[in-house]
Structure 1
Amino acid sequence: MDAPFHVPDVWRELRELPVTRKVLFVCPQFPVTYWSWHFSIRDLLGFNRRSYAPPLDLLTVAAFFPDHWPMRLVDENIHALTDEDLAWADVVVTVANRVQMESLERIIHRAHELGKPVVLGGLDPSMRPHYYDTVDYLHAGLIGDATRDLLLALAQNAARPAERQVFTVQQELHISDYPPPRYELIDTGEYLAVSLQFAVGCPFKCEFCEVAPYYGRQPRVKTPDQVLHELDKLYAMGYRGVVVFVDDNFVGNLSAAKQTIELLLRWQQSHGHPFQFFASASANLAERPDVMDLMSACGFFCVFVGIETPNAKDLKAIQKTQNIFTSTLEIVATIQRHGIQVYGAFILGFDTEGADAGDNIVDFVESAAICTPILSLMTASQGTALYNRLLAEGRLVTQTQKGPFIDSNVVYQKGQTEVFRQYVDTYNRLYDPRAFFRRLRRNMQTCKIDDKQYGKSLPFHLRLKALPRMIWHMGIKPSWRWSFWRVFLFSIANKTFNYFGYMAFMGYHYIHFSKALSANPPLAVTAELLPTSAQPGSNADSPLDYARVKDGPMVYHESC
Structure 2
Amino acid sequence: MADIVIINPRFDISFWGLEHCMPLFGKRANLPVSCLALLAALVPDHHQVTLIDENVEEIDFDRLGRADLVCLTGMSIQGTRLLEILDEVKSRGVMVVVGGPMATVEPEILDGAADVIFLGEADETWPRFLREWEQGTHQDRYEQTEKTDMASLPLPRVDLLKADRYMFGSLQISRGCPFTCEFCDIIVTFGRRPRLKSSAQVLAELESFERAGLTVVFVVDDNLIGNKKAIKEVLRDIIAWQQERAYPLTLFTEASLDLAEDDELMELMGLANFQSVFIGIETPNEESLKETKKLQNVRPNAGSLLERVHRIQARGLDVWCGMIVGFDNDDESIFQVMPRFLADARISAALIGLLHAIPTTPLYDRLKQAGRLNDDEAAERYGTNVVPLGMSPEALRDGFIQVMQDCYDPDAYFGRLDGQFIDDDFKFVLHHLPYWKSHPVAWLKRSFFNYVKFGAVASRLLSVVKDDALRARYKQQLSRVVRQRWREPHILFIYTIKVAMHYHYAALAHAMAQVDDGSGAMPDAGRSFSRAKRPVEERAVA
Pick the TM interval, shorter chain.
0.7 to 0.9
- Which whole-Å CA distance do the structure 1 matches of 2:128 and 2:255 have between them? 34
- Which whole-Å CA distance do the structure 1 matches of 2:283 and 2:239 have between them? 33
Work out whether residues 196 and 245 of structure 1, in 8 Å CA contact, stay in contact via their aligned partners in 2: yes
Residue 41 in 1 paired to residue 16 in 2? no
Work out whether residues 282 and 306 of structure 1, in 8 Å CA contact, stay in contact via their aligned partners in 2: yes
C-alpha displacement of 1:268: 0.5
Deviations 1:121-173, CA, capped at 9 Å, x for gaps: 10121111111120111111103543333112321349xx9xx9111112333
The alignment yields a C-alpha RMSD, in angstroms, of 3.0
Residue 436 in 1 paired to residue 413 in 2? yes
Alignment of 1:303-314 (within 5 A): 303-314=277-288
Unaligned runs of 5+ in 2: 433-445, 486-490, 522-526, 536-542
% of aligned pairs identical?
28
- Which whole-Å CA distance do the structure 2 matches of 1:384 and 1:521 have between them? 35
- Compared CA separation, residues 408 and 546, structure 1 to 2 (3 A): farther
Deviations 1:96-118, CA, capped at 9 Å, x for gaps: 12222232223222222321111
Match of 1:485 in 2: 475
Work out whether residues 309 and 346 of structure 1, in 8 Å CA contact, stay in contact via their aligned partners in 2: yes
Residue 22 in 1 paired to residue 3 in 2? yes
Match of 1:209 in 2: 184
Residue 86 in 1 paired to residue 55 in 2? no
- Which whole-Å CA distance do the structure 2 matches of 1:274 and 1:522 have between them? 51
- Which whole-Å CA distance do the structure 2 matches of 1:303 and 1:346 have between them? 14
Residue 551 in 1 paired to residue 541 in 2? no
- Which whole-Å CA distance do the structure 1 matches of 2:331 and 2:518 have between them? 21
Select between 133-142 and 515-524 the one with higher mean Cα deviation: 515-524
Give the TM-score normalised by the residue count of structure 2: 0.87
C-alpha displacement of 1:458: 9.3
User: Secondary structure at the residue paired with 1:192?
Assistant: coil
Work out whether residues 176 and 194 of structure 2, in 8 Å CA contact, stay in contact via their aligned partners in 1: yes
- Compared CA separation, residues 123 and 151, structure 1 to 2 (3 A): same
- Which whole-Å CA distance do the structure 2 matches of 1:310 and 1:367 have between them? 11
Give the TM-score normalised by the residue count of structure 1: 0.84
The counterpart of 1:318, out of the listed 274, 283, 292, is 292
- Which whole-Å CA distance do the structure 2 matches of 1:187 and 1:69 have between them? 20
Alignment of 1:274-423 (within 5 A): 274-325=248-299, 326-398=303-375, 407-413=383-389, 414-423=391-400
- Which whole-Å CA distance do the structure 1 matches of 2:152 and 2:447 have between them? 32
In structure 1, give the amino acid aligned to 2:13. Answer: V
The counterpart of 1:135, out of the listed 111, 114, 136, is 114
Match of 1:119 in 2: 97
C-alpha displacement of 1:385: 2.0
Work out whether residues 249 and 280 of structure 1, in 8 Å CA contact, stay in contact via their aligned partners in 2: yes
User: Secondary structure at the residue paired with 1:39?
Assistant: coil
In structure 1, give the amino acid aligned to 2:12. Answer: P
- Compared CA separation, residues 243 and 374, structure 1 to 2 (3 A): same
Deviations 1:196-231, CA, capped at 9 Å, x for gaps: 001111000111111112211111111111101111
Residue 220 in 1 paired to residue 198 in 2? no
The counterpart of 1:513, out of the listed 497, 508, 513, is 508
Match of 1:537 in 2: none
C-alpha displacement of 1:459: 8.5
Bigger proportion of residues as helix:
2
- Which whole-Å CA distance do the structure 1 matches of 2:168 and 2:305 have between them? 29
Deviations 1:181-202, CA, capped at 9 Å, x for gaps: 1111112111010000011110
Q: How many residues align?
A: 506
Match of 2:85 in 1: 107
- Compared CA separation, residues 473 and 449, structure 1 to 2 (3 A): farther
User: Secondary structure at the residue paired with 2:497?
Assistant: helix
Work out whether residues 117 and 142 of structure 2, in 8 Å CA contact, stay in contact via their aligned partners in 1: yes
In structure 1, give the amino acid aligned to 2:238. Answer: L
Select between 289-298 and 188-197 the one with higher mean Cα deviation: 289-298
User: Secondary structure at the residue paired with 2:45?
Assistant: coil
Work out whether residues 52 and 191 of structure 1, in 8 Å CA contact, stay in contact via their aligned partners in 2: yes
C-alpha displacement of 1:464: 4.7
In structure 2, give the amino acid aligned to 1:518. Answer: A
- Which whole-Å CA distance do the structure 2 matches of 1:361 and 1:236 have between them? 42
User: Secondary structure at the residue paired with 2:336?
Assistant: helix
Match of 1:57 in 2: 35
Match of 1:177 in 2: 152
Match of 1:273 in 2: 247
C-alpha displacement of 1:369: 0.9
- Which whole-Å CA distance do the structure 2 matches of 1:58 and 1:395 have between them? 36
C-alpha displacement of 1:320: 1.0
In structure 2, give the amino acid aligned to 1:106. Answer: E
- Which whole-Å CA distance do the structure 1 matches of 2:357 and 2:162 have between them? 37
User: Secondary structure at the residue paired with 1:345?
Assistant: strand
- Which whole-Å CA distance do the structure 2 matches of 1:522 and 1:262 have between them? 56
